[in-house]
Amino acid sequence: MFKKLLIANRGEIALRIVRACREIGITAVTIYSEADRNSLHVRHADEAYLVGPAPARESYLNGGRIIEIAKEAGADAVHPGYGFLAENADFAQACVDAGLTWVGPSPECIRTLGDKVQARKLMQEAGIPVVPGSEEVTSQGKAASAATRIGYPIMVKAAAGGGGRGIRTVYRPQELPTALEAASKEAASAFGHGALYLEKFLDPVRHIEMQIIADGRGNVVPLGERECSIQRRHQKMIEEAPSTAVSPKLRRQLEEMALRAARATGYTSVGTLEFLVDRKGRANFLEMNTRLQVEHPVTEMVTGVDLVADQILVAAGEDIPYREVPMQGWAIECRIAAEDPFNDFLPSVGTVSFVSVPGGPGVRVDSALYDGLEISYYYDPLIAKLCTWGRTRLEAIQRMRRALREFKIVGINTNIPFHLQVMEDSHFIQGKLDTGFVEKRFAGRKENGLREEQVALLAAAVLAHRKGSQRGPAPGRRPESSDWRRRNRPGRSEAGARGWQRST
């Protein structure tokens, strides 16, 4: 087993991995940018090192510097979390070349499956149906010919990357040139690679994914499906497990396709296969994510599996400790983001002056929120993941409504009012979902007094909090900062990596 693991990420996912390391008995090392000096993932880690300035390209995307820190800290392994360098095959290979264990699939797997065109070919060879589409299009003429063959409407998609970037929907031939140019520019900016391909635009469909874990001895275990159809601009907003659209028969089909895909690629670690499922229950492969997913908590809640800990154990060479895991109950995740849902979901920046997270039976909050947190434009607006579990889907929804109303965040706008509206929507409650749900059901929606109610409740909460804080700390209790000591090595500059180490 590893003695020390470096987490090449930030925020709630870095904190999630720190907690898994603690339970396994591994020393957790984190990195932080100048904007994240006071972050919870820094406070909770055993050691933390300054990686660079606030911009991600100078800090969390600086692979060379991250590897330097890992070696300086004496780490055995690197966990990339999700986002940033998690699906960067070159960074994974650089870690391996530096003698570090990569907590994830092999660099070869990442490279192959990260190229969506190549991944489609592999799945077809494995007998897995794919969404009708094309190979890489290298000119407008070839794109036009492929679009005519596929049939409009189509989607222009980036061959690399994810997160909804580099995608444009095209309904008519005259729209194609503009869409190609815009998608290629966005893909090149986001992923450093502007290659494109085309897919048939299917509507209505549901976005269903299958979670798997595979070890180095050929064992592959499917861990159930997740429903990810509530999304905006191809970015997921709400996920749940299981899915109301998946029958036992379809679940077996998805599991079989996932097993074939993993074995065809020699896959190890956790991974997710994404499918589009039409009204007739026909599933077509969309892509495979070679990393831990943002929405992994809902799978953990219905299976009882610790995906992060098991991912680390598999990377250390251990076998998967189970072969079949049934799902029990229902889990829902709402992604809480610093954005204004009633102003085209524009990002909200500022200082979180007060936060109070919900609790109670069946409620889980993965976040790195704290009073005084600065929300900036430097990073993704995702600030928390609120998950609820129930014996039935309705119970999970009712619990989510209660938890959303308890979640208090003062100082910035959040999308909590949007999530409340979804949880009260009749179509959502009935499970009538597809990938166009948000556009069809929430276009032009107003606040309906939700924000005014929230503001009044939050103001009262802040006043109560401030009144309580004026009383000072309890007698004999040291402030939190006294539990830490800075470790400055001789000759190291402010711009260099600084370690922080817990006092014993």
Q: Is residue 291 among the annotated active site residues?
A: yes
**Which class for 91: exposed (0-12), middle (13-18), buried (19 or more C-beta within 10 A)?**
buried
For residue 438, give both structure tokens: 């948000």
For residue 160, give both structure tokens: 């690399």
Taking residue 450's Cβ as centre, other Cβ atoms within 10 Å add up to: 17
Annotated active-site residue in 168, 226, 291, 393: 291
Question: What are the φ/ψ torsions at residue 331 (nearest 5 degrees)?
Answer: -130, 145
């601009």: which residue's tokens? 233
Cβ partners under 8 Å of residue 463, min gap 6:
none
Question: Is-contact 384 406, C-beta < 8 A?
Answer: no
DSSP calls for 284-303: EEEEEE-S--TTHHHHHHHH
Question: Is-contact 245 227, C-beta < 8 A?
Answer: yes
Distance of alpha carbon 136 from alpha carbon 424, whole angstroms? 42
| SS3 (DSSP) at 275 | strand
Q: Which of 154, 143, 245, 165 is nearest to 202 (CA)?
A: 154
Question: Is-contact 207 435, C-beta < 8 A?
Answer: yes
Distance of alpha carbon 396 from alpha carbon 331, whole angstroms? 6
Distance of alpha carbon 193 from alpha carbon 183, whole angstroms? 11
Computed from CA positions of residues 81, 86, 87, 91, in that sequence, does the dihedral angle turn out positive or negative? negative
Cβ partners under 8 Å of residue 437, min gap 6:
229, 230, 427, 428
Annotated active-site positions, please? 291
